[in-house]
Chains A and B, each alone.
Chain A
């Protein structure tokens, strides 16, 4: 009955929109408006929840955006690789170590490919991984708290693009380099690239609590390693990477890396790699890379510098790597849910190439080689080819799969999504995208169990899809219903940064596990004050530590005197609340960083250097309660060398 009412309401709303709009201009829009059921499909009634969580990369914002599907509503932007003044991420003392690298503090990155953890080939809703492309890093987001829990820098890598993809039991999260570079880095002529530069593929083990450790790297020839996906089912134990620039050009790549008729998909047998590691066939090379871990107990992050990495050289490890010739400069490297088909999306090719894992094993067994490259056997194209989707569109980039044996490929140049059949390679349907689609995502797409209900296309060009906002426009995603024979465009929704890949899963894998508050009794922050009685102000030379608490609707203490110009003041602020969704904010006039936004039971620290004599206010920034505006206080700043005694109080006590 409830559903019926909602359906009728939705129909009425869509009908009203149709009348109100007077007919939409564009094809996609017109169809959506004419078909009332499309509005109904994306309508999530007030107070109701979406069916899926979608984690959509924030691209060059460095962050990760969390949306609901089918509504396309934005719930949270999780700061990962970039500072976020709203949440004090990278600004407060606790999270600054998260952005430490071997290059020092790097407050930005280019986030690309989120992937969700899996157990037995199915998404398990524990963690979301995402790569930083520019200063190579892999981050892990804890899906109990939706906070960045860990960031691991990747040494010997540059343009960490073929990342981050997990194996089917989250044994590894895998990261490949886009740029090949001298390994180890050294001063040498760029023109001597060929044969000297190397491409590192990194296998990061993931522990039971999610902890990441760079287990080993495979040092590949100096190609560009573009994208990757794991084998699954029968092909579990293998990993597949697309390559381009097998020409090993070091300049004007748009021409010089587009000469070879075929580049390669590199098939890595990582089970074999584990055997070689166990047999001691690796070399340990010096490296410097940061490992940053955030603790929900201390509410603080630590950064440690790691000093070496184990490296495997494919030429010394027979059976570790094979090359599958793939036309032409393949971009996406996608493995179907059964693990049998490996799709190479040759972005400059007219056709779509699909390799067969069974045929690949057979070719390896019978040594059907077509030469080798740097000691790596090249399999014969014809012997590994499963089939070709003939002339499906222009500029294929990425393929995802549903649970009915269909594949969906994006075409950047012809700006469309094409649905085709695995095995028969026939094209079943095509729908335009608006405009120039990059990645696409089907919930569970990188797993054995996709939920073939929705498809999200992430477009590179927005142009006229929304109200204009000056020269810089939002990015645009489009939601398609793929439950029927034909795809149907349901809605457009704006996205942040430039979303590359995304990952999604049913909400019930994640929603029931949410942390609602941090228990105050479990707080192990070194500067916590667990009650107003424990608040104090401590001076150590010119460093002042303020142990402060906040609760509806006051700070304790809220009057502080005896601070002097030139002091270095640390406000360690604990939110004493133990109630769901009652954060408090903390802002200090003239602070050269950000606010604090502190969750119940959490402690965060704001650093403040008072520069001027006076009495300076602080206040709560989050409208916490009826008396939020009263939640304020003062700090008296005396001249350097003044004899004002250190004192603090709340209501005169």
Chain B
């Protein structure tokens, strides 16, 4: 089998990791939490980094009227199918061996990734801004507006006494590696087809 096909099949199989490993992590540290609280987002669930972390995040958040972290969201129904579909599609493209299909797979994965990030942002926005009007603690900003608690999409942000850090987790990095490999497969395919030097 051609090297490019093998690389493409490997690239397509790497996202399998998302079924076992978290794709995103949000960590919360505070003076009272020298050991940060953390939540890990999988394609099928949201879990605490340690036992009790989700309960403790919910306990902190309920004072300002934030909703509990959902045990189930509709995305958990179809995310596994999308990821599974991409794996199958990638393997099929790999077997066909057309390097343009490799590029196509990369672009589909990128678009789906962006959609996923947009979905994540939507959830974060709702999570941080839909507050219970009966909340015990209501903080106003300088303009007299109610402070909201949306965690950062990526990076670190201070929210009251907490420092929230939102970053891709190991599953996402493996997905990125798979996507990068699909580009490599494309280049290698070009090379195998007689193009001397992969163009930039």
Can you list, as one digit per residue, whether each of A118-133 has a CB less than 8 Å from chain B (1) or not (0)?
0000000000000000
Contact of A578 among B35, B56, B136, B137 (CB under 8 A): B56
Q: Is the pair A627, B51 in contact by a Cβ cutoff of 8 Å?
A: no
Can you list, as one digit per residue, whether each of A622-635 has a CB less than 8 Å from chain B (1) or not (0)?
00011100100000
Can you list, as one digit per residue, whether each of B106-135 has a CB less than 8 Å from chain A (1) or not (0)?
000000000000000000000000000000
Which residues does chain A contribute within 8 Å of B55, judged by CB atoms? 578-579
Q: Is the pair A519, B51 in contact by a Cβ cutoff of 8 Å?
A: yes
**What's the nearest-Cβ distance from chain B to residue A533, in Å?**
15
Which residues does chain B contribute within 8 Å of A551, judged by CB atoms? 59
Can you list, as one digit per residue, whether each of A565-587 has a CB less than 8 Å from chain B (1) or not (0)?
00000000000011110000000
- Residues of A561-615 contacting chain B, CB below 8 A: 577-580
B63 at the A/B interface (Cβ < 8 Å)? yes
Which residues does chain A contribute within 8 Å of B52, judged by CB atoms? 517, 578-579
CA distance A519 to B51 in the complex (A): 9
CA distance A526 to B51 in the complex (A): 24
Contact of A626 among B51, B56, B137 (CB under 8 A): B137
Given A626-B137, A627-B136: A552 in contact with B51 (beta carbons within 8 A): no
- Residues of B31-69 contacting chain A, CB below 8 A: 35, 51-52, 55-56, 59, 63
**What's the nearest-Cβ distance from chain A to residue B26, in Å?**
17
Q: Which residue of B lies closest to A520 (CB)?
A: B52
Q: Which residue of A lies closest to B60 (CB)?
A: A552
CA distance A577 to B59 in the complex (A): 9
Which residues does chain B contribute within 8 Å of A552, judged by CB atoms? 59
**What's the nearest-Cβ distance from chain B to residue A60, in Å?**
38
Q: Is the pair B63, A579 in contact by a Cβ cutoff of 8 Å?
A: no
Q: Is the pair B137, A579 in contact by a Cβ cutoff of 8 Å?
A: no
Can you list, as one digit per residue, whether each of A376-412 has a CB less than 8 Å from chain B (1) or not (0)?
0000000000000000000000000000000000000
Q: Is the pair A627, B56 in contact by a Cβ cutoff of 8 Å?
A: no
Most interface-central of B56, B59, B63, B137 (chain A CB within 10 A): B59
Which residues does chain A contribute within 8 Å of B136, judged by CB atoms? 626-627, 630
Q: Which residue of B lies closest to A551 (CB)?
A: B59
Count class of interface residues, chain A? 10 to 19
CA distance A577 to B137 in the complex (A): 21
Q: Which residue of A lies closest to B32 (CB)?
A: A581
CA distance A183 to B63 in the complex (A): 65
Q: Is the pair A626, B63 in contact by a Cβ cutoff of 8 Å?
A: yes
Q: Which residue of B lies closest to A519 (CB)?
A: B51
Which residues does chain A contribute within 8 Å of B35, judged by CB atoms? 580
**What's the nearest-Cβ distance from chain B to residue A601, in Å?**
9
CA distance A551 to B60 in the complex (A): 11
- Residues of A246-280 contacting chain B, CB below 8 A: none
CA distance A578 to B57 in the complex (A): 11
CA distance A577 to B55 in the complex (A): 8
Which residues does chain B contribute within 8 Å of A579, judged by CB atoms? 52, 55-56, 59
**What's the nearest-Cβ distance from chain A to residue B31, in Å?**
12
CA distance A121 to B51 in the complex (A): 37
Q: Is the pair B59, A627 in contact by a Cβ cutoff of 8 Å?
A: no
- Residues of A510-547 contacting chain B, CB below 8 A: 517, 519
CA distance A577 to B60 in the complex (A): 12
Which residues does chain B contribute within 8 Å of A580, judged by CB atoms? 35
**What's the nearest-Cβ distance from chain A to residue B47, in Å?**
14
Which residues does chain B contribute within 8 Å of A577, judged by CB atoms? 59
- Residues of B68-123 contacting chain A, CB below 8 A: none
CA distance A627 to B137 in the complex (A): 9
**What's the nearest-Cβ distance from chain B to residue A405, in Å?**
43
Which residues does chain B contribute within 8 Å of A627, judged by CB atoms? 63, 136
CA distance A577 to B53 in the complex (A): 11
Which residues does chain A contribute within 8 Å of B56, judged by CB atoms? 578-579
CA distance A627 to B60 in the complex (A): 11
**What's the nearest-Cβ distance from chain A to residue B65, in Å?**
13
**What's the nearest-Cβ distance from chain A to residue B191, in Å?**
52
Q: Is the pair A578, B63 in contact by a Cβ cutoff of 8 Å?
A: no
Q: Which residue of B lies closest to A581 (CB)?
A: B32
Q: Which residue of B lies closest to A627 (CB)?
A: B136
CA distance A566 to B55 in the complex (A): 39
CA distance A626 to B61 in the complex (A): 12
CA distance A2 to B75 in the complex (A): 49
Which residues does chain A contribute within 8 Å of B63, judged by CB atoms? 625-627
**What's the nearest-Cβ distance from chain A to residue B139, in Å?**
12
CA distance A580 to B35 in the complex (A): 10
Which residues does chain B contribute within 8 Å of A578, judged by CB atoms? 51-52, 55-56
CA distance A552 to B55 in the complex (A): 11
Which residues does chain B contribute within 8 Å of A630, judged by CB atoms? 136
CA distance A578 to B56 in the complex (A): 7
**What's the nearest-Cβ distance from chain B to residue A512, in Å?**
14
**What's the nearest-Cβ distance from chain A to residue B118, in Å?**
33
CA distance A579 to B33 in the complex (A): 10
CA distance A580 to B55 in the complex (A): 12
Can you list, as one digit per residue, whether each of A548-563 has a CB less than 8 Å from chain B (1) or not (0)?
0001100000000000
Most interface-central of B35, B51, B52, B56 (chain A CB within 10 A): B52
Which residues does chain A contribute within 8 Å of B137, judged by CB atoms? 626
Which residues does chain B contribute within 8 Å of A626, judged by CB atoms? 63, 136-137
**What's the nearest-Cβ distance from chain B to residue A14, in Å?**
29
**What's the nearest-Cβ distance from chain B to residue A137, in Å?**
36
Which residues does chain B contribute within 8 Å of A625, judged by CB atoms? 63
Q: Which residue of B lies closest to A630 (CB)?
A: B136
Q: Which residue of B lies closest to A580 (CB)?
A: B35
CA distance A627 to B136 in the complex (A): 8
Most interface-central of A517, A551, A579 (chain B CB within 10 A): A579
**What's the nearest-Cβ distance from chain A to residue B182, in Å?**
43
Q: Could you pull out 6 A-B pairs where Cβ atoms are within 8 angstroms?
A: A517-B52, A552-B59, A578-B51, A578-B56, A580-B35, A627-B63
The 4 lowest CB-CB distance pairs between A and B, nearest first, are A578-B52, A579-B56, A552-B59, A578-B55
B residues in contact (CB < 8 Å) with A: 35, 51-52, 55-56, 59, 63, 136-137
For the A-B complex with A627-B136, A630-B136 known, give 19 more contacts whose Cβ atoms are closer than 8 Å.
A517-B52, A519-B51, A551-B59, A552-B59, A577-B59, A578-B51, A578-B52, A578-B55, A578-B56, A579-B52, A579-B55, A579-B56, A579-B59, A580-B35, A625-B63, A626-B63, A626-B136, A626-B137, A627-B63
